[in-house]
A and B are shown apart, each in its own frame.
Chain A
Amino acid sequence: MIKKYIITFSMLCAFCFSAQAQIDLSGEWGAVFHEDFDERRPGPEMVEYQGIPINEAARRRALSWSPSLLTLPEHQCKPHPSDYGSRGPSNMRIWKEIESETQQLVAYHTRIRWQAPERTIWMDGREHPPEYAAHTWQGFSTGRWEGNVLVVRTTHLKQGWARRNGIARSDVSEFTEHFFRHGNYMTQVVIVDDPIYLTEPFIRTNNWKINLSQQIPPYLCETVTEIDRPQGVVPHFLPGQNPFIGEHAERYNLPMEGVLGGAETMYPSFIE
C-alpha cells in the first residue's frame, strides 16, 4: 500500500516538475531600462569601450569605425542582431507555436519593436544547421528548460556589434541566454562567446515587465542616399586619426587605459 502511494506521489511530482519546467514566457513585455540606460537609449559615446572584454584587434577595429558608415544605404536598415536586440528599444512580444495534435511546444517566437526583427527559438530538439548554411541577424536558436529557466543557444549569426560605437562582434560568435520569469518581470542573461574579438565571455542582463496594453507598431525601413558618393567609398578613420579619442575620457575624467576597454576593466579591482 505504501509502495503504491510512493509510486503515485512520484508520478504526481514528475508532472509537477514538468509543469514547473514549462513556465510560460508568452506575452507583451515592456522593456525596463533601469540598467545601463545611457548606453542603451541615448547610446554610447565614441571610444567608450570600458567594461567589455575586447582584445587588441577589436580595439583597433573600433578606433577605425566612423558613424558616417551608417549613411551608406546598405547599412541603414540593419536590425540589431539577437545578442544585442534586447539592449535597444526592445519592447517585445513572445508567443508560442504549439503542435496541434500533441500540444507540444515547438518554438517560441519573439518580435522586438526597433526594426521589428522576428526570431524563432526552436524547442523541438532539432539540430543546428551545418556551418555552410546562411548566417542571419537573429541566428539559429534552440532552447531547453533547466527547471524554470529557459536556456537558449544561438549560432549562425551575421557579423554584428557588442556596442553601438564600432565594437565588432564576429560572425563566428555564439551566445547563450537564460530567461528567468519572476511573476510580471522577466530577466534575460546574455553570454556572448567570440573567439575573434573577445578574451572572455561578455555577459549582460536585460529586464522586462509585462504590459497587457502594449501594442508593437509596424516598422518599415527604406534606404535613402544621404550623401552622393562614388561607388565603393567606405567611411572610416585611418590609424591614429580618430578625432574622438580622448573625448569621452576627458569629459568624465577617466583614464584612457580604462575607456579603451578589455577584460580587466570589467572588474572592481581595476578601479582600485
Chain B
Amino acid sequence: MFTQLKKINTVISSLFLSFLITFPIASLAQQNFDDIEIQVLHVRGNIYMLVGAGGNITLQAGDQGVLIVDTMYAPLSDKIYSAIRSISNKPLTYIINTHAHSDHIGGNANLAMMGSNIAGGNTIDLFAGTGEQAKIVAHENVVNSILATEEDQLDIEGWPTDTYYTASKDLFFNGEAIMITHQPNAHTDADSLIFFRRSDVISTGDIFRTTAYPFIDVANGGSMQGVLNGLNNILDMAVPADRQEGGTMIIPGHGRLTDEADVLDYRDMLTIIRDRIAYRIDQGDSLAQVLATEPTFDYDDRYGLNSGTFTTEKFIETIYNELSSQ
C-alpha cells in the first residue's frame, strides 16, 4: 500500500512542482481539481492539518476566529472553506503565508474575501472595506516575490496586508502566542516558520517536507545552507515528549504530520549529502564528476524525483553551485 501511495505522492509532488514553476495561477485554475478532497487531521487541541493539493494548511480555531497558515490553490478555496466550517463557525480572521509559491498562496484572495478581520467602532464607517476580509500576514519578501513574478496572476485581495521585515513577528490570537520567524534564504528568501506556542505545534512551510528532497528556489533567494539552518532551528524549537516522540508536533509544507525525530532524520540526510558534495569539490571534482559519484544514491528511492523541474540531478547541481561559489 505504501509503495503505491509513495509513487502516487511522488507523482503528485512532481506534477504540482512542475505546475508551480511552469504555469501561472491562471493556468492552474484550468486544471482539474474536481477529484481533490480536503482531508482534515486533528493535530492537538484547536490545531488541525488540512491536506489536499498543494501545500498543507495549518488551522487554529478558537473563540476569536479562525487562523490558517497558507491557502493551497485558488480552485480549492470553496472546499477549503467547507473544511474550515466543519471545524468552526467563527470568521476566518487571519491567513499567514509561509512563502510566495502559488501552491501555498493561490487561495489567498478567495479565502481572504470569505473572511473578516476584527474591526469596530468608528473605523467601519470611516474606511471602506475595513474588517471585510481576513488579514494576510507574511514576510515582506512575499510581497516582493509577488511583484517580481506573480503580480499579474494573484488578485490584489490576495496580497499580504500585514507584512514584517524584521527577524520575527508575534501575534496573540485565540488565547495563544503565535511566533512567526523569518528563515532567510532557505526554500526561498521569504520563508516563515510559524510556532503555535501553547499548542506546541510548528508549521514549517516548504523548509521541510516528507515527500522529496527540498526544492531550493535559487531564483527566489533559496539556498541549501538556508534550508539546513531552518531545519536546525526547527530542531532547536522542538522538544520531544517521552521516548523521543510527540511533544512538539511539526506540520510540513508537504507530506504527513511529523515530530522532531522525523525532522532530525531529514536534517541528518541533507547534512550528509551536503558534506559529500563539499568533499568532492575540495578534491577538485567538476559537477559531472560529482554527479558520477551519486552523492544521494542511498536516499533517492525515498526522496528523489526523476521528473519535473527540480529533479534529483538539479538538487545536486544546486548544492554544487552554492558550495563552489563560496
Interface residues of A (CB under 8 A from B): 56-58, 60-61, 64, 69, 74-79, 115-117, 130-137, 155, 158-159, 170-174, 195-197, 221, 231-234, 236, 238-239
Contact = CB atoms under 8 A, between A and B. Distances in A.
Contacts of A171: 262, 265, 302
Interface in B216-236: 228-229, 232, 235-236
A196 B302 contact: yes
Contacts of A130: 39, 41
Contacts of B9: 131
Interface in B128-159: none
Contact of B243 (A60, A117, A234): A117
B33 to A, nearest CB: 18
Which of the four size classes fits the interface of chain B?
Answer: 35 or more
B232 A132 contact: no
A232 B228 contact: yes
A116 B5 CA distance: 32
| Shortest 5 CB-CB contacts between residues of A and residues of B | A61-B298, A234-B271, A134-B257, A172-B2, A60-B298
A231 to B, nearest CB: 5
Interface stretch (B90-98, B114-122, B189-197, B272-280): B272-280
B268 A134 contact: no
Contacts of A238: 275-276, 279
Nearest to A170: B302
B54 to A, nearest CB: 13
B165 interface: no
Contacts of A233: 271
Interface in B22-48: 39, 41
Contacts of A116: 243
B244 A132 contact: no
Nearest to A234: B271
B132 to A, nearest CB: 34
Contacts of A131: 2, 5, 9, 256
Interface in B276-326: 276, 279, 293, 295, 297-302
Contacts of B2: 131, 155, 172-174, 195
B236 A231 contact: yes
Contacts of B235: 74
B257 A115 contact: no
Q: Majority SS of interface residues in chain B?
A: helix
Contacts of A133: 41, 256-257
Task: Indicate the member of B49, B243, B257 with the most A CB atoms within 10 Å.
Answer: B243
B255 interface: yes
B180 interface: no
B1 interface: yes
5 contacts: A79-B243, A131-B9, A137-B261, A195-B3, A221-B242
A236 B298 CA distance: 14
B6 interface: yes
Contacts of A155: 1-2
B101 to A, nearest CB: 20
A132 B245 contact: no
Interface in B247-265: 249, 255-262, 264-265
B51 interface: yes
Contacts of B265: 158-159, 171
Nearest to A136: B245
B99 interface: no
A232 B232 contact: yes
Contacts of B267: 232, 234
B244 A78 contact: yes
Given A60-B298, A74-B235, A172-B2, A239 B268 contact: no
B298 A64 contact: yes
A76 B240 CA distance: 12
A132 B41 contact: yes
A61 B2 CA distance: 21
A75 B264 contact: yes
A174 B3 CA distance: 10
Contact of A221 (B243, B261, B276): B243
B145 to A, nearest CB: 27
A75 B256 CA distance: 21
A74 B260 contact: yes
B302 A172 contact: yes
B27 to A, nearest CB: 27
Contacts of A77: 240, 243-244
A195 B6 contact: yes
A115 B243 contact: yes
B39 A234 contact: no
Given A131-B5, A132-B49, A234 B302 contact: no
A137 B243 CA distance: 9
Nearest to A118: B243
Contacts of B6: 172, 195
Given A64-B272, A155-B1, 14 more contacts: A60-B298, A74-B261, A77-B243, A79-B245, A133-B256, A134-B257, A135-B258, A137-B243, A170-B302, A174-B2, A234-B275, A236-B268, A238-B275, A239-B293
B5 A137 contact: no
Contacts of B300: 57
Contacts of A239: 276, 293, 295
A173 B264 CA distance: 18
A34 to B, nearest CB: 28
A131 B259 CA distance: 15
Nearest to A78: B244
